[in-house]
Amino acid sequence: MSFPLDDYLIRTEPFYQASGPEIDCYERAYAHRMPLMLKGPTGCGKTRFVEYMAWKLKRPLVTLACNEDMTASDLIGRYLLDADGTAWHDGPMTLAVRHGAICYLDEVVEARQDTTVVIHPLTDARRMLPLDKKGEVVQAHPDFQLVVSYNPGYQSSSKDMKPSTRQRFASLEFNYPSEEKEVGIVAHESGVPVALARQLVAIAHCTRALKQKGLDEGVSTRMLIYAGVLIRDGMSAVESSEMTMIRPLTDDPDMATAIRSFVLAQFG
């Protein structure tokens, strides 16, 4: 008989380059099934880190990308019509709670606050999930853990995480890797030479210096990997940078011109 969440197991080791003690910290938190909050800028490796830890701990990983249209039913389940009439169907969070997965809510503050309150009973000593519509209370499997992520510098105050929710989690802070580590990550993930990866990282550092000076965010590690992949496949470095870094980052003509100057300084 197969495990109910076999499809959620990560069978191949994800590439992850640690920037500090985050692996050990996560393992210590997981030993107590402690709810965990990952904070850091977009594209800095939070999701890859969770995937790596799920692989390392040999636990299935149920990932949910939160958005403002997400309802509580999308998380916990609903009654649906099938061939035999109306039947209850567990949502992804309920499946994780029942069967001992790591449940990862990516960008949790994008979900409506009346939706995220359903996680509260899972983040204290109760470790339970009430299914009000079904009249059932699901006690969390001993291996279940809840992990959430968000970017504290990007959301408006109206979308910030409520203190009553924040204080239920331990937290790990993420940022972009050191220059040398980021060069290694970009080279490994995109398949470009180290020298070219170093040029891409130099552009990223210039854009990150413009955060709050015209840019909400600088170029992320993820963007650098996209740029490297296109360059590896034959696109010019300038065209690739335009497509994967400049246009996604800004619509402001002056800011785009400034970023192009960083690109031309490396590849012009």
Please give the residue that has the higher pLDDT: either 113 or 146. Answer: 146
Query: Helix or strand or coil: residue 184?
Result: helix
Asked whether residue 149 falls in the same domain as residue 25, the answer is yes
Angstrom distance (rounded) from CA 161 to CA 107: 10
Please give the residue that has the higher pLDDT: either 108 or 200. Answer: 200
Question: Nearest to residue 34, comparing CAs of 129, 149, 153, 123?
Answer: 123
pLDDT tens digits, one per residue of 193-206:
999 999 999 999 99
Asked whether residue 115 falls in the same domain as residue 53, the answer is yes
Asked whether residue 122 falls in the same domain as residue 166, the answer is yes
Domain assignment present for residue 1? The answer is no
Q: Are the C-beta atoms of residues 225 and 45 closer than 8 Å to each other? A: no
Domain assignment present for residue 260? The answer is yes
Residue 126 falls in which region: left (phi positive, over 0), alpha (psi -120 to 50) or beta: alpha
Domain that holds residue 222: 179-267
Last residue in a domain, options 139, 173, 207: 173
Asked whether residue 68 falls in the same domain as residue 162, the answer is yes
Asked whether residue 166 falls in the same domain as residue 186, the answer is no
Asked whether residue 131 falls in the same domain as residue 186, the answer is no
Asked whether residue 134 falls in the same domain as residue 156, the answer is yes
Asked whether residue 119 falls in the same domain as residue 225, the answer is no
> How much is the average pLDDT of 80-98?
91
Please give the residue that has the higher pLDDT: either 191 or 268. Answer: 191
Last residue in a domain, options 124, 144, 173: 173
Last residue in a domain, options 137, 152, 173: 173
pLDDT at 1 over 50: no
Q: How many CA atoms lie within 13 A of 128 on its CB side?
A: 9
pLDDT at 157 over 60: no
Instruction: Give the pLDDT score at 159.
Output: 65
CATH code where residue 143 lies = 3.40.50.300
Asked whether residue 256 falls in the same domain as residue 143, the answer is no
Asked whether residue 218 falls in the same domain as residue 249, the answer is yes
